[in-house]
Amino acid sequence: MAKIETIKTEKQLLDKIEHCGACLEKKFHCQDGHRAIVICGGTGCLSSESAEILAKFQKIIIEKGLSETVTANIVGCFGFCSQGPFVKIFPEETLYTKVKMSDVEEIIEKDIVNHEIVERLLFVDPVTKQKVQKQHDINFYKLQKRDIALHGNDEINPEDIDEALGDGTFIALNKALHMTRQEVIDEVLKSGLRGRGGAGFPTGRKWQFAYNVESEDKYIICNGDEGDPGAFMDRSIIEGNPCNVIEGMMIAGYAIGAKNGYFYVRAEYPVAVDRLKKAIAELEEAGLLGDHILGTDFSFRCHIRLGAGAFVCGEETALLNSVEGKRGMPRPRPPFPAVKGLWGKPSVINNVETLANVPYIIREGAAHYASFGTDDSKGTKVFALGGKVNNVGLVEVPMGTTLRQLIFDIGGGIPNNKKFKAIQTGGPSGGCLTEKDLDTPIDYGSLIAHGSMMGSGGAIVMDEDNCMVDVAKFYMTFICDESCGKCSPCRIGTKRCLEILTNICDGKGTLQDLESLKELSAVIKANSLCGLGQTATNPIISTMAAFPDEYRAHVVDHVCPAHVCKSMTQYHIVPDECFGCGMCARGCPAGAIFKTEEPSKKNPRLMLHEIDQSKCVKCGACMTACRFHAIIKK
Amino acid sequence: MPHLQGSAVTQITKIVERYKDEPTPLMMILEDVQKEYGYIPLEVQELISDLTGVPVSEIYGVVTFYSFFSLTPKGKYVIGVCLGTACYVKGSQLVLNKFSEILNLKPGETTEDGLFTLDVLRCVGACAIAPAVSVNGKVYPQVKPEEAIKIVNEYKNKEAEAC
């Protein structure tokens, strides 16, 4: 690798940015017949061999003697993960989806050499059935604003700081260093930026508290312990543009007067950790991290600490304990971390996405940033849209976008013509929103008013096949596993809730159970020590409020309307549909399916099959095995 | 410490040395030891305690608190089935049950031949390709219950070839 030039003055930085910017510009606009191939390097696409696809592109480029005019590199995450791996060709900006190893030769041969589009790899709009050539014409991208937190994510090579610089990284830091520390804080206050990790506390105020405390040592901590199951925006932000987050952290460090910053990242995210390490090492070598940054008095260093698989460490005081090498249990507050945080020093803990917003605010100005969003929530929010929705992926939308737009316009609706049932936002601390809430604009206030919360941005869509009692039980199992055990309301209370829910799902519930659940939930909410405990029962409270009939059906009629809870579900073969082929009987592990004496109406030469309910283990193997959809759940 | 080999003592001392300038390095030390040996038995905790001055009771507390640290050795191949929300609503519980049935293991257990450990993961952030299964870090996308046997066999065959 080429040696990294040192950048010690403002002039050197600006020259470098101009030079790298021109290189990047040249790459994307490709004068003199140059072509650039970029490939998605997010975790989703990497698991579908995108790294191997890149290697194959590079190999063929060399073999065909195209190295002079064609480049290929990895970029961050395209966000539209259900269609990955992506290959995008510049300057035409043609986007190929679901690319496989076997497609590489064809792309090179047709597109790169002969300038023909490989039609079969283009995205097909599920509604119009039209092929779409360019990324920004795909409905999934149309309503999004992907240039604040996901800035650079599908354009620059996350492992090349020159590309980050060319994309304008560190312009904001340079600008901030010309402002007083108070001015930087005021700018962030004015922007209306609120914490993206869950609670939504105004970021500028957090900084102000830490700024106000006199201390030789202060710390800025980036919370990348994204433990909410179903949320992966922090991972993608770090993987896609680590320098942007580092810059945000440096600006925060300058504002509060910290010399050291700690990234606390989940150990489950090895790619994010590697890219972050690499970026930090290169920035240190360039002199952009270290002493007297850009010739000023500001000195700053970044460190990385890994989580070790504890959900509660996403809570800021628990996170501090974990960095200090202790059990990750929350501390009582006050004192707040801004006064007494890491190693007893004033500390600010900001979420990854929050810090990723900061450079944009400083670069473009608070007023411009605040022009996006609603009165109570400014800017954009990244959501990890998942579950039963067509377009699964990472979405950045301006605050105030409605849930309907999120699920149906961007998300493309529910697969297999199923009916939308609920969307769970905010992870285990959040709640379920239903049909009637679909036109709610997404902002901190309205989500809370409708019984859920923003949380870190997980958005899991559920359809009519999901049982809400089962979902509540799922979250309770998670919370019981992850409760740190320090305070008894959370430790014991959640366990009792889980027992009751398990009973209900086993068909042994009573009306009294519903009362007990309500009462327990209220007690846990009021008495737990930390935010995680206080919100632990939100999934129960919100599903009970939104789906009272479903709960009643479980405890009064002992039926599970969605046919999920096994004890209350039976598999049946519909005689009119049965072909008598016997595939179900062969697939049954319990030998519960037998041939009757009655001939099939569809094929009278064969006999109808039936399920012996006393032997059935309800595994569903017969349903998968049946090719005629003759097996139903009741 | 009669159970520890000299080479292990040297290696662990080296790991502790690596972080001597860090203010509170316990987590970093434990992470490296876990990575190196796959588990952190009591003897090792005692050694770390001697080297760092952190009481062994505290180290034991930390090791048992975090799910990444293990007191017993894990299998050569750790099969992790994601039970994050996105995977769960798409049926990953059924995938887990299938692995459980094939390997005859409860989650957290290791096969007698030391080949496979079955683990439950809490979201690997690969929600777009749910249900996700990870084997030693390699992520398998959109795994159906009936594909479980294929994944297990892939590693069994790998072992057979190596023999």
Higher pLDDT, A33 or A207: A207
Q: Does the pLDDT at position A618 exceed 50?
A: yes
- Check CB contact under 8 Å for A308 and B146: no
Q: pLDDT at position A509, please?
A: 95
* pLDDT higher than threshold 90 for residue B136: no
A384 chain-B contacts, CB cut-off 8 A: 86, 127
- Give the whole-angstrom CA distance, residue A2 versus residue A325: 37
Kindly provide the ipTM of the predicted complex, given to two decimals. Answer: 0.86
pLDDT tens, residue by residue, A240-249: 999 999 999 9
Domain A168-370 sits in which CATH superfamily? Answer: NADH-ubiquinone oxidoreductase 51kDa subunit (3.40.50.11540)
- pLDDT-based confidence at A561, cuts 50/70/90? very high
Span A329-346, pLDDT tens digits: 999 989 999 999 999 999
Contact between chains at B122 and A311 (C-beta distance less than 8 A): yes
Q: What is the CATH number of domain B77-162?
A: 3.40.30.10
3-state secondary structure of A626: coil
Pair type for strands B77-82 and B116-121: parallel
Q: What class has domain A468-557?
A: mainly alpha
Q: Which residue has the tokens 């609920």?
A: A422
Return the number of other C-beta atoms located less than 10 Å from residue A575's C-beta.
15
pLDDT at residue A526 is higher than 90: yes
Q: What is the pTM of this model?
A: 0.91
Residues 471-500 in A contacting B (C-alpha not used; CB under 8 Å): 471, 474-475, 478, 481-482, 484
What residue segments make up the domains of chain A, in order of their start?
24-139, 168-370, 380-463, 468-557, 570-633
Separation of alpha carbons B140 and A231, rounded Å: 18
Q: Where are the beta strands (DSSP E) in A32-91?
A: 35-40, 70-75, 87-90
| Cα A305 from chain centre | 21
Tell me the per-residue pLDDT of B26-85, one tens digit each, with 9 for 90 and over.
999 999 999 898 899 999 999 999 999 999 999 999 999 998 899 988 899 999 999 888
Assign B2 a pLDDT band (cuts: 50, 70, 90): low
Mean pLDDT, all residues of chain B:
90
Enumerate the residues of chain B whose CB falls inside 8 A of the CB of residue A624.
145-146
The answer to whether the CB atoms of B86 and A387 lie below 8 A apart is yes
Residue the block writes with tokens 């283990």: A617
Confidence of residue A3 (pLDDT cuts 50, 70, 90): low
- For chain A, the maximum distance between any two Cα atoms, rounded to a whole number of angstroms, is 91
Give the C-alpha separation, A54 to A318, whole Å. 40
Interface probe for A, chosen from B122, B136, B140 (most Cβ of A below 10 Å), is B122
> Under an 8 A CB cutoff, do B90 and A228 touch?
no
Cβ proximity of A215 and A258 under 8 Å: no
CATH of domain A24-139: 3.40.30.10
pLDDT band at B138 (very low <50, low <70, confident <90, very high): confident
CA distance A491 to A520: 12
Distances (CA, A) of A255 to A188, A210, A258, A292, A568: 10, 9, 8, 15, 59
- One-character DSSP codes across chain B: -TTS-HHHHHHHHHHHHHTTTSSS-HHHHHHHHHHHHS---HHHHHHHHHHH---HHHHHHHHHHSTT--SSPPPSEEEEEE-SHHHHHTTHHHHHHHHHHHHT--TT-B-TTS-EEEEEES--S-GGGPSPEEETTEEEPS--GGGHHHHHHHHHHHHHHH-
Separation between Cα atoms, residue A329 and residue A530, nearest integer Å? 9
Instruction: Please say if the pLDDT value at position A2 is more than 60.
Output: no
CB contact under 8 Å between A326 and B138, yes or no, is no
Instruction: For residue B89, give the chain A residue with the closest CA.
Output: A387
Nearest to A361 by CA among A252, A444, A258: A252
Provide the mean pLDDT of chain A.
92
CATH of A570-633, one of 1.10.730.10, 3.30.70.3270, 3.30.420.40, 1.10.260.40: 3.30.70.3270
Contact call for A310 and B58, based on CB within 8 A = no
Angstroms from B127 CA to nearest CA on chain A: 6
Nearest CA in chain A to B131: A387
DSSP A331: P
B146 CB neighbours in chain A (<8 A) are 624
- Number of DSSP helices (H) and strands (E) in chain A, helices first: 26, 19
Fold of A380-463: Ubiquitin-like (UB roll) (3.10.20)
How many angstroms separate the CA of residue A114 from the nearest CA in chain B?
34
Q: What is the pLDDT of residues A59-104, one digit of tens each?
A: 999 999 998 889 999 999 898 988 889 999 988 899 999 999 999 9
Query: What is the per-residue pLDDT across A433-474, written as a single tens digit (0 to 9) for each?
Result: 999 999 999 999 999 999 888 888 889 999 999 999 999 999
A248: closest CA among A351, A160, A334?
Answer: A351
Stretch A519-543: mean pLDDT: 93
User: Containing H/E element for A22?
Assistant: helix A10-29
d(CA A13, CA A7) in angstroms, rounded, equals: 6
What is residue A402's DSSP assignment? B
CA distance linking residue A342 with residue A331, whole number of Å: 12
Chain A nearest C-alpha distance from B1 (Å): 24
pLDDT at residue A175 greater than cutoff 60: yes
Chain B residues whose C-beta is within 8 A of a chain A C-beta are 23-28, 30-31, 54, 58, 61-62, 65-69, 83-90, 94, 121-130, 132, 137-141, 145-146
Please, what's the b/e burial string for A531-550 (b: 16 or more CB within 10 A of its CB; e: otherwise)? bbbbbbbbbbbbbbebbeeb
CB within 8 Å: A387 and B54: no
A267 touching chain B per CB within 8 A: yes
- Closest Cα in chain B, distance from residue A603 (Å): 28
What integer pLDDT is reported at residue B87 of this predicted model? 86
| B129:A305 CB<8 A | no
pLDDT score, position A579 = 92
How distant is the Cα of A462 from the closest Cα of chain B, in angstroms?
Answer: 7
Q: Of B31, B84, B89, which is closest to A388 when you measure between CB atoms?
A: B89
Place of tokens 């509604």: A127
Kindly state whether A345 is in contact with chain B, defined as any CB-CB distance less than 8 angstroms: no
Question: Which pLDDT score is estimated for A1?
Answer: 46
